[in-house]
Amino acid sequence: MDMKEIIAKDKKEKDVIKESNFYSSCDMLVFLSNEGFNKTLNLSSYMSMCDSISHELKSFKEANKGIKKIYYFQIGIYESDVTREILPAISMSEYIHRFHKDKLDLHDDFLGYHFTYFIIEYNVKTDEERLVDLLEQSLIKVYDGFKARTLYFNSVLDRDATDYHGHYQGIFDSYVLERKKAGKPEIIEVHNAIEKPKESSSVKEFISYVNKSLESIYVGQLPFHAAKFLMQDTREYKYLREEFIILASYIKDIRKSYDGQIKLGEEKERWDAKIDSELIEITQAVPKYEYETRKALASTIHQYRGFSLDLRTKHQQAVDSFSKVIVSAINAKHDKKYPEPRVLLIGALFEFFECDEFILNKSIQYVKENTTLGIFSSIFILVDSEVCIKIH
C-alpha cells in the first residue's frame, strides 16, 4: 500500500466516524435546482421566499418539541471549486476522486446544480420521531407558492446521496464544530506595524500611507497580520479596514486625482474625511453576525469549512437579506440630517453577494430603486474596497 492509499484509508475511516456522529442526531433534507433562486426570481420575491422559509422553520420547530435546531444554507457544486479547498491545493472534485471513489457517479450527476440544505438536529433521535418527511412537505408548499421549481431527497430515503453531500459540502465537519465547545483562543502578541495616519496631509501622502499599510499586512514578513487586520484587532486596523481603504479607492476610481489636501475626521468632526472643500461620510453595510463570520474566516483556510452549522445558517441569512442591509445603511445616514451636502461611501463585501457579478448587479438595482439621494451630493458602494459603483 503506497502513501496515497494509506492517507485515503485513514481519511475514509475518520469520515465514517463523522457520518455516524451526524446520523445519530440528525436528518438532512436537500433541495436541488438548476440555479440559485436569487438568480431566477425577482430579488424582492426571493427575499420574501427566504423570510417565508425562516418563518416555516421556526413554526415547525415550535410545533415539534423533539427538534433541537434546524440549520440551512445554500451552495452549488461546480467544476472549479478552487475557493472551497478541503486541504491546501486539493479542490473538492479532487477530494471526491481521492477519498470517495464510490461516490463518483453521484458527483457526476450533481455537478453543475445548486443545492439548499436543511438539517434537523434532534434532542434525542428515534425512528418514531423522524420528522424529515413532514418538513419536506412544509417546504415544498413554500417553494410552490413562489413558483420555485425544485427536486428533493432526504437522508431517510437517499442515504448515499446525503452521504455524498455531507462530505462534499463539509456538513459532517461543520457538525463536529457544532458539537465541539469552542476553546479560548490563543492570544499571539505581534509587533503592530500599522501606524496612525496624519490627521491632515496631502492626498498623495494619504494614498501612500494606505498602500504601505496593506503591503505590510499582505506582502511583508509579518506573521498573523492578515488575521489581525480582518479582526480589526487595533484602532489602526479598524480605521484602515472600515474607512481608509474605502476612501483611497474612491480617490483612485472616482476623483482620479491625487492633488489637494485631505483631513480625517477621526470622530472629532461631523464628517469622516474632507478633501479640500468636499465632505465625505463613510459607513459599512454590515449584516447581523458579521463579526462571527469574520472571526471564523480569520481562523480557517478552508472558507466555509471552518464554520459550524449554526454559523453557516447565520451567514446564509445575511447573504439572503444583504440588499436590505445596504438600504438600511443608507437610510440610517439620511436620518442623521447632516447640515451640509457630502459624498456617502458605503463599504460592502463581495462575499455577501456570493462573489457573483449577476447577483451584485441585481442587488445594486434593488438598492437604487429603494433609496434616494437626499442631502448627499452622491452615493457610492465600494465592493471589497476595490470596485466603486455609483448608486445616486
pLDDT of residue 389: 92
**Cα(40)–Cα(50) distance, rounded to whole angstroms?**
14
Angle of helix 3-23 versus helix 159-168 axis, rounded to 10: 110
Asked whether the beta carbons of 169 and 12 are under 8 A apart, the reply is no
pLDDT score recorded for residue 58: 95
- The total number of residues written for the chain in this structure: 392
Tell me, what's the pLDDT at 220?
Answer: 57
* pLDDT at residue number 70: 95
Q: Which three cell numbers stand for residue 34?
A: 438548476
pLDDT at 224: 55
Q: What is the pLDDT of residue 82?
A: 42
List, run by run, the mean pLDDT of 10-residue segments along the chain (392 residues): 58 75 90 90 94 95 92 79 44 67 77 90 78 90 90 81 83 77 51 76 90 74 59 74 89 89 88 92 88 69 64 90 94 91 91 85 94 94 87 94
Q: What pLDDT shows up at residue 87?
A: 42
3-state secondary structure of 76: strand
Angle at 296 between CA 290 and CA 301, to 5 degrees: 130
Residues contacting 126, CB < 8 A, separation 6+: none
Hey, which residues does 321 pair with through a beta bridge? Answer: none
Residue 142, number of CB atoms within 10 A of its CB: 16
